[in-house]
Structure formats: C-alpha cells, structure tokens
Amino acid sequence: MNTTSLPLVFSQEVSDALQSGAPVVALESTIITHGMPWPQNVETARRVEATIRENGATPATIAIMNGKIHIGLSDAELEELGQAKDVAKLSRADLAARLVTGGYGATTVAATMICAHLAGISVFATGGIGGVHKGAEDSFDISADLRELSETPVTVVAAGAKAILDLPKTLEVLETLGVPVIAHGQDDFPAFWSRSSGLAAPIRMDDPADIARAQQMRTKLGLPGGQLIANPIPETSEIASETLAPVIAQAISEADAQGIAAKSVTPFLLQRIFELTDGKSLAANIDLVLNNARLAAKIAAGLVKS
C-alpha cells in the first residue's frame, strides 16, 4: 500500500521492521487512556511492548497526536499520552474528524484495526473487544468493534469480550457479521476476567501458525474482515465469574442511575469494577493483556514465515 499521502507517522523501529518484513504487532491506546488508571496504564503499556519484543516481534502502539496517526510511540510519547487530559476515544465514525481538528485521540479496537491495516500490520493485541451491551434491546448500544471485525483484515487477539457485556448476543452478532471467533487452546469462549463464559466458541485452534494461515486463507478466498482470537486469561490470574457477577451488576445499575451512555459506559464500568474489587480486576486485566501480547507475537511470526 502506498502510505505516503496518508497522515501516518512511523517510529523508526516499526518502519524498519515493516520494511524488512519482520513480525509486527499493533497495540491500541484506548486501553491506556480510558481503560486503566495512571500510572498502571503506562507501566502496563511498557510491559506489553517488552513482552512483544521478548517474543520476537516489534510492538506498534497506535494513537492520534497533532493531526497524525502515530504507528509506534516513543517512551516519552507513551508517558505524555498516559497523562493527557481531553483525549478523544476514537472509533470508525470520528477518527477522520479528530485528525482534522487536532488534539489527542485514543484508538479503540475498531480505530486501531483501521490504522493498523493502513500501516500494513495485520495482527493486533488488546484486552477485550467491545460488544453488545446488556440491555441493548432498549439502548441499541452495540460496539462498532464488531462491524470493524467484519470489514478490516486484521487478526485481533483478545481475552474474549468483556464480561460487562451480553456475551451470547455478542457472539450472535459476530456470527451474523461473518466474523470467525476462534478460541485459543480451549473449547469455551472466554469472558475477559474469567477463562470461561459458559458458551462454546464457534472455532478452536491451538497452534498460532494455524491462526496466521486462517487469516491468509480468508484473503485468498476474497472474504473481507479479520478474525477474533479469544485467548483465555491465565488460570493463576482469573477471577471466578460468580465473584464478579454481583460486582458487574452493581456497576451497571450505578451507570444506569447516573445516566452514563454511549462511549462513557465501558470506561465507567471498568473504573467502578476496579474500585469494587479493590484493584483485583485491574491486576487480572494487566495479566490477560500480557498473555494476549505473547500469542499475538507468535501469530505475527507465523504470518511472516508462511
């Protein structure tokens, strides 16, 4: 792809890796600005980048700064973004407008997929994708992440969808949209902080190289879109779903009572669950992201080899 006319700024490390055909893993920035509190957000971002390097790939954290899409951030930029105020949480609908008006922009799963694809990166690691919110039959709150997965050819490694969501409906929508949902190493669809949602994943794959080949096969077949790789949180870090269910219910009823809507719902719920679990949910969130970074690096290496 000719990227010269695009508002893309590559870090030297990412530019070198892409030019030499080395494995690269994209990372999002909403998890830094809206998903975790300071300073754990920046500490985690650094650890995720280090994990990707240890596993043989180059990390490319994606964010909007000064009207440009940055593909790969320096340590100083990571620090700046992690403490910045007025960072817009960007998805497909508002990415272009923010580039024109300037200011900081954090990329969600949807926006990160778009930017990664423009940059020529086809694997991306995050925590959990957005999905169908509980009560969506009234609120119509369905994350744009789901449709993006059906349109943009990037493999997204996540610990399933966040347990704050309606997971059966999220899986239904993904099926309708033709998105392959592939559980890694188990039959069940994981529920972010817990290894199982009690729902079967439509596809299971154990070998990262197969996951890489499946994405290439989709391209060969002319099928648009990416893949959702649902990678369960490590056993030692999981929080039992029975423990979390009442906490999630409380956070959701507080959000309803306070009229929290649209883009603010997920950050509000994550923050309240963090407070209500005395920080345990954040520790689990950090461990699952690191685990996803490891798998994404292996998938990226598989894409390069085959």
Beta strand ranges found along the chain (DSSP E): 8-10, 24-27, 58-65, 68-71, 88-90, 105-107, 123-125, 155-158, 181-184, 203-205, 227-230
Q: Which of 23, 25, 28, 49 binds ligand PSU (CB under 6 A)?
A: 28
Residue among 2, 44, 20 at smallest CA distance from 285: 44
CA distances from 9 to 63, 65, 214 (A): 10, 10, 30
Residue 292 interacting with ligand PSU (CB under 6 A): no
Q: Which of 59, 128, 153, 160 binds ligand PSU (CB under 6 A)?
A: 128
Q: Which residues contact 47 (CB under 8 A, 6 or more apart)?
A: 286, 290
**How many residues bind ligand PSU, per CB under 6 A?**
18
Q: Which of 11, 26, 30, 233 binds ligand PSU (CB under 6 A)?
A: 30
Catalytic residue check, 263: no
Catalytic residue check, 137: no
Q: Two tokens at 128?
A: 């959990």
What part of residues 265-284 is at the interface with ligand PSU (CB under 6 A)?
266, 270
Binding window for ligand PSU (CB under 6 A); candidates: 13-21, 122-130, 176-184, 213-221: 122-130
Q: Tokens 């951030």 map to which residue? A: 73
What part of residues 90-109 is at the interface with ligand PSU (CB under 6 A)?
108-109
SS3 content of the chain, % helix, strand, coil (to 5): 50, 20, 35
Residue 143 interacting with ligand PSU (CB under 6 A): yes
Binding window for ligand PSU (CB under 6 A); candidates: 125-133, 149-157, 205-213, 291-299: 125-133
Q: Which is nearer to ligand PSU, 58 or 91 (CB)?
A: 91
Please answer whether residues 65 and 55 qualify as being in contact, where contact means their C-beta atoms are separated by less than 8 angstroms: no
Residue among 72, 168, 125, 79 at smallest CA distance from 286: 125
Q: Which residues are annotated as a binding site for substrate?
A: 89, 109, 143-145
Q: Which residues are catalytic?
A: 28, 162
Q: Which residues are annotated as a binding site?
A: 89, 109, 141, 143-145
Binding residues for ligand PSU, rule: CB under 6 A, are: 28, 30-31, 34-35, 108-109, 126-128, 130, 143, 145, 263, 266, 270, 285, 289
